[in-house]
Structure 1
Amino acid sequence: MKLLLCLFAIIFALAPVSAGADEATDAGLSVPANVRVLWRQWRVDLIWDEPSRWSTTPALVFEVERAANATGPFKKCHNGYLPYCGHSDFLGEGGQAFHYRVRMVEFEKMSEPVVRKVSAWTPTVFAISQPLDEDKLLIEMQEAGFRYFYDAAHPVSGLPRSQSHDWARDWAATSAIGMGIFNIVLGVERGFVSRDDAARRVLRITDFLLHKAERYHGAYSHLINARSGKTIPFMPKDDGADLLETAYLIQGLLFAREYFDGSGDVEARIRQHANEIWHGVDWTWFVRTSDFGDPVLSWHWSPKHEWAMGLNCHGFGETQILYLLALSSPTHRVDDELYWKGWRNPLFGGKNVHYGVNLPLQRIFNVCLFPAHYTYMGIDPKAIGYDGLTYQEIFARWCTAQMCYMASRKDDFKGYGTALWGLTASANMSGYGYKAHAPGVEDDGTIAPTAALSSMPYVPNEAKACMMEMFTKHGKALWGPYGFFDAFNLTQDWVADRMYICIDVGPIGPMIENHLTGKCWEIFMKAPEVAETLRRIRTTEPKLR
């Protein structure tokens, strides 16, 4: 029997198996279409096409059942109902064989989940969970993130949804569009999607951004309606340009421009669109005067409220990419002094030692890890530095200090002091629901998988150990169709169940790739405008203040 299962695994694990048809039923709901079953480590993943009504009908959800035999009996293999078009049946070991079927469910309304209609079940599909292999699991982490940005993207524009839990299904976050492009390209490199299909998807995204999405002096809003292109206010006075979100988008567009270098029409149009959007951002419009009296780039501008948000972009933090692109613009370039006086403001850096680790970029010990990830999906952190250290070396120290801190709190928070680690901005069980977790007062025991996984280039052994700890000991609770859920707190026995947040999923795959091959850095660093800016920074750095 084991030999037969192994033969099945060899035959079927190389490609998804499809089943299902979009046929109407007496209940008035179509059967979920194009069910793909993926034979994966310790689990079986299922993905199906998004129904045409799903993005505009929040009360549509799904159920998945499994059985040991094709004829049943079938039982539901998850709690409640599934809010998205996928499910991962985490079985905890390899060699488990099951048949699966899927159906769609419509509630009367989401606030009162009383079933109104159900579709017929799909034809069954068969799969066997695979044995565990750490190196292959890294690639499956990338595949899971790719599915979020490709399979779960908006059907009209191709833009990634801002989140997957209690979401408005037409909402897209501008920064995650750029991150999504990185993940789509990785899909080509890893064989998850063909280059032609990936190029067509990226072209759909760039065409929507260029011709439908609202812009303000070339910059996009924080949130975009992925169906209409209209701005969705992020806060009452944040209803216009968000320059930092735009910078993360531009990073992804330049990455696409450098990758899709073919002579065909689709790839040529991607490059054309990327340049039009890039050249259209008027970085000079956002130059303001800081509290120190120096020039600085402002984060927001609104046609209604102008500069009322009042946030200037200083280092060190998440805004590094904004300054590098503003200094690189072929059409609206800002003066280099903004980098040295705005980004490198008088409070930049410091000489601090925490837990025996020298942290030259930290005046206080509040290391929240996402600033080490977002900009450096494309920018090689070895190509830029501070106080004689590359950012690669500095970020490795951040991770080390954070792990030391978490070990020191092992008596306060469950899971600390083990292979688990990672404090960053993520979902939170209380209050606003999203928090920048960091050592000290901002720590409540919440761990975010993206923190360690996206730090793979800096501390690969510790990041892999955390991955394996989460997967092998907590995978049943933490794993879903797009990878690990956003956050968890073992002390409070809480998981951000079925929640994915785009900007937390986004860096994982690219940063794993940068650890494995350096491919994302290699491609992005080909952009001649950015390469020239980095050369100027390295050769004109003034004396440290």
Structure 2
Amino acid sequence: MKRIILSIAATSLLLVSCKNSQIASQGAAQKSVVKSNITDEQLMDQVQKDALKYFWEYAEPNSMLGRERYHEDNIYPDNDKHVITTGGSGFGLATILVGVERGFVPRKEAVKRLTTMMDFLAKADRHKGAWSHWINGETGKTVPFGKKDNGGDLVETAFLTSGILMVREYFKNGNAEEKALAQKCDELWKGIQWNWYTKGGEKVLYWHWSPEYQWEMNFPLEGYNECLITYILAASSPTYAIDAETYDKGWTRNGTYLSDKEKYGLPMYVKHNGAEEYGGPLFWTQYSYIGLDPTNLSDKLIKNYFDLNKNQVLIDYKYCVENPKQWKGYGPNYWGLTAGYSRNKDGSVGYDAHFPQNDHGVITPTAALSSFPYSPKESMDFLRFIYTQKPEFIGSAGPYDATSINYNNWTTPRYLAIDQGTIAPMIENYRTGFLWKLFMNAPEIQQGLKKLSFKSEKYNIK
């Protein structure tokens, strides 16, 4: 839950209240009612194209990386139009690869843009090889996420690195320009000092390190939440790797993170940090799994990561259908709780981490849309409903970040990179497994997973 606590604390300082969140926006002119006879394949194409716009058309203009936020109402806190987000940019890299693979963007233009991104990241501030949560897209300097959070952010770095590795794998056998891009990706990956973030050899990874505040943030990465990919990348590093003991003692807490609880008859398998009754926000089933394929993936403690994620999604779905708080609109076609923009009691825009134990009547579209691999029918029902029945919830880059039928079809004409960035990749993984194949077949990832006793017959990891 650390990410959530930090996000609420830090982001709330930056957000500007918007009393009327349904302001006429730039995207309003681009809205159109989608015909009800549109096919499922056409709908998935549409939402993938729309989400891609966030990273292709609205990228930060110097670095070309993903901006922390894009507001169609043009209201920004503290002039942060040039603040890029590290983790969201990683999801953006995966989104652009989907765009290339599906022919939504030209391959040559993508290579040029991706090269600009890698050149920027090579020159940007790094803290023992890790990037900060936020970076100034014009200068490459660290932008503090909080007073003491002004150094390396290992989890955000992991989300970015997952994307960097997929770019490398996609282009490594291409033409000269593509091979040069892949080489830049490889150098960035090898420069991250994952083992530094064990605070001198403790058998656990730490989220932050700052040259100014050192380890004062003091957040060990312990399961279960969205941070699994951090351990896998750290174990897979060819230059600064952690050992298996760090994973066992740190992430699994010596196996004590296992749970025998069920909800709606569905086993939860692990203790969700701070959300043990229903499970956490749905981004926990998404962020680590943009590249990591949970299908029949196991380790010494978890028999099937796909079942773990699927059950968390279905518990969220069943909770929304049950709708114990009686929010108007909740049901089989309108569901999904995760972190993102929210509605304050006075009707202004805020930020919150929505999950069943923290449900305020706000549905975040990325929750259901990025759950396609786990709940294809339920996610498709949501996708069809929102595009054909709720055009007011759709803007120029796809569904807006926060919506509520309960509050008279309230929405906010705003987007966040971390939310928009998981939509196209996870839908593509459902459709073709494209990104999963790229990441899981990377040689270092194969070795790292074996080191941690993961198994996947699909990728011959034994």
Q: Shorter-chain TM-score: which interval?
A: 0.7 to 0.9
SS in 2 for 1:160: coil
1:536 maps to amino acid:
K
Asked if 1:295 corresponds to 2:211, the answer is no
- C-alpha spacing 1:302/1:131, structure 2 compared with 1 (3 Å): same
User: Higher mean Cα deviation, 415-424 or 318-327?
Assistant: 415-424
Q: Residue in 1 aligned with 2:350?
A: 433
Tell me by how many angstroms 1:359 deviates.
Answer: 1.1
Alignment check: 8 A CA contact 2:203 2:247 kept = no
Write the mapping of 1:345-424 to structure 2, written as runs, cut at 5 A. 345-346=253-254, 347-362=256-271, 364-365=276-277, 366-382=279-295, 384-385=297-298, 387=301, 389-409=303-323, 412-424=326-338
Write the mapping of 1:114-263 to structure 2, written as runs, cut at 5 A. 132-165=38-71, 166-167=75-76, 168-211=80-123, 213-263=124-174
1:470 maps to amino acid:
I
1:220 maps to amino acid:
W
Tell me by how many angstroms 1:399 deviates.
Answer: 1.5
Q: Residue in 2 aligned with 1:277?
A: 188
Unaligned runs of at least 5 residues, structure 2 = 1-21, 456-462
1:530 maps to amino acid:
I
CA–CA distance in structure 1, aligned partners of residues 23 and 295 of structure 2? 45
Tell me by how many angstroms 1:197 deviates.
Answer: 0.8
CA–CA distance in structure 1, aligned partners of residues 178 and 319 of structure 2? 47
CA–CA distance in structure 1, aligned partners of residues 33 and 106 of structure 2? 31
Instruction: Describe the superposition over 1:210-254 as per-residue Cα deviations: whole angstroms up to 9, x where unpaired.
Output: 12x100100000000111101111101111110111111110110
1:251 maps to amino acid:
S
Q: Comparing both structures, which one devotes a greater share of its residues to strand? A: 1
Give me the TM-score of the superposition, normalised by structure 1: 0.73
Alignment check: 8 A CA contact 1:220 1:243 kept = yes
CA–CA distance in structure 2, aligned partners of residues 404 and 81 of structure 1? 34
Q: Residue in 2 aligned with 1:498?
A: 413
User: Higher mean Cα deviation, 412-421 or 216-225?
Assistant: 412-421
SS in 2 for 1:510: helix
Tell me by how many angstroms 1:539 deviates.
Answer: 6.0
SS in 2 for 1:216: coil
Alignment check: 8 A CA contact 1:384 1:534 kept = no
Root-mean-square deviation (CA, aligned residues, Å) is 2.1
CA–CA distance in structure 1, aligned partners of residues 320 and 340 of structure 2? 17
SS in 2 for 1:308: coil
CA–CA distance in structure 1, aligned partners of residues 174 and 298 of structure 2? 37
- C-alpha spacing 1:488/1:209, structure 2 compared with 1 (3 Å): same
CA–CA distance in structure 1, aligned partners of residues 325 and 197 of structure 2? 47
Tell me by how many angstroms 1:89 deviates.
Answer: 3.1
Asked if 1:471 corresponds to 2:387, the answer is yes
Alignment check: 8 A CA contact 2:235 2:243 kept = yes
2:351 maps to amino acid:
Y
Give me the TM-score of the superposition, normalised by structure 2: 0.86
User: Which of 382, 401, 407 is the matching residue for 1:486?
Assistant: 401
User: Higher mean Cα deviation, 242-251 or 425-434?
Assistant: 425-434
Tell me by how many angstroms 1:172 deviates.
Answer: 0.4
1:265 maps to amino acid:
A
Tell me by how many angstroms 1:489 deviates.
Answer: 2.1
Instruction: Describe the superposition over 1:143-198 as per-residue Cα deviations: whole angstroms up to 9, x where unpaired.
Output: 11111111111221111111012332101000111111111111111111111111
Tell me by how many angstroms 1:404 deviates.
Answer: 1.7
Asked if 1:522 corresponds to 2:437, the answer is yes
CA–CA distance in structure 2, aligned partners of residues 151 and 355 of structure 1? 42
SS in 2 for 1:382: coil
Alignment check: 8 A CA contact 2:223 2:251 kept = yes
CA–CA distance in structure 2, aligned partners of residues 93 and 496 of structure 1? 19
- C-alpha spacing 1:272/1:466, structure 2 compared with 1 (3 Å): same
CA–CA distance in structure 2, aligned partners of residues 397 and 179 of structure 1? 23
Instruction: Describe the superposition over 1:299-330 as per-residue Cα deviations: whole angstroms up to 9, x where unpaired.
Output: 01111111111111111111101000100110
CA–CA distance in structure 2, aligned partners of residues 352 and 266 of structure 1? 52
Unaligned runs of at least 5 residues, structure 1 = 1-77, 95-129, 541-545
- C-alpha spacing 1:539/1:180, structure 2 compared with 1 (3 Å): closer
